[in-house]
Amino acid sequence: MKWTGWLLIGGIVLLPLVTWWTLASPNRVLAVRETPTWLLTILLLLVLASWVWDQDRWLGAFIAYWVLWDMPFRGPLAHEMVLLVALGAVGLCAVRLIPRSSHPSVRFVLVGVGLLQCLSIFGQTMGYEPLWAGLMTTPNRPVGTLGNETWVATLLAVIAPLAPWYLLPLFFLALYLTHSLMGMVAASVAVLILYRESYTVITLAYAGALALIVDPSHLLASWSIRWAVWMQALTDQTWLTVLIGRGPGAWLMQPRMAQGELFLWAHNEFLQLFYEGGLVALVLLAGWLWAHRTPLARLPYGASVVALGGMGLTMFPFHLAITGLLGIVVLGMATAPEDPCAS
């Protein structure tokens, strides 16, 4: 936008007049420095949002909404969340600029990352893993190099649709060993979409998903805890929070607890987005998905996006650095234009 630079010109006028305002710090001595710095950050983020708007209007509007939410909320967690979301949007736009001739190379790298996790899981299952103090004390719960079985299952489920068919058994076996039901289901659905005309792969996908259900009592207990937390969040609402949410980072500032387990995240990206950004944030997300419905349907990255969304129903992939970056790359590759230079 041509008028974006005027935001910074206006900042030159505004910043010298807000040094008295205890907006960023209750201490007036510190506020002299902190308040102008905080407002400058907001202005720069709005400039960034306008640049993203030029590339992707729905994404730019989403960033601008979070930046404006940061002004009244003013929590340190809110500021960090807004920064990460804004920079993540820039990263997504940057991934789209990768030439299509290089897309096979990107896919090769991602599949390699997934295979490394598979090998790590197999080693841990046998009781040995050099990155985690040699011998694993709980070989029945392999965690890969991510340190958590659900996190590594998320990574494998998203990458599995990108792997060639002959490597899929390794990915499904590794997912099975993590005991992640949603990881198996998400990967199975994605593979079914990718190979919907191949009965062999369909059989493999279904068999793998069903084979996971070896301890239904554990699965039911896990789901009941999540359900209790979700109901707490949904019932604790006012008309205003339903509309605009409680602000970025609000969940982490007031985490929920159920059956003695503390939920620092909602374990549902869509619910947490609603809790923090309200219906406005969900509408912006829906608008972005609709605007990109055609490229998102392209395979194989479209299948990976389906797996990513599935994992977002019971996990928090965009609140972790590793799976969050993977999500940015997959979404960027899925929505890349036919001719990156044209954008």
Name the percent of the chain lying above pLDDT 90.
Answer: 36
Q: How many CB atoms lie within 10 A of CB 273?
A: 20
Q: What is the pLDDT of residues 244-299, one digit of tens each?
A: 888 888 887 777 766 667 778 888 999 999 999 999 999 999 999 999 999 998 88
Mean pLDDT, the chain, whole residue set: 83
343 has pLDDT over 50 = no
- The span from the CA of 131 to the CA of 142, in Å, is 12
Q: What is the pLDDT of residues 106-152, one digit of tens each?
A: 999 999 999 999 999 998 888 777 666 555 555 567 888 888 889 99
303 has pLDDT over 80 = yes
100 in Cβ contact with 82 (< 8 Å): no
Q: 236 versus 103: which is more confidently predicted?
A: 103
* pTM, full prediction: 0.86
> At 342, is the pLDDT very low, low, confident or very high (cuts 50, 70, 90)?
very low
Residue 116's contacts (CB-CB under 8 Å, 6 or more residues apart) are 145
- The span from the CA of 68 to the CA of 65, in Å, is 5
330 has pLDDT over 80 = yes
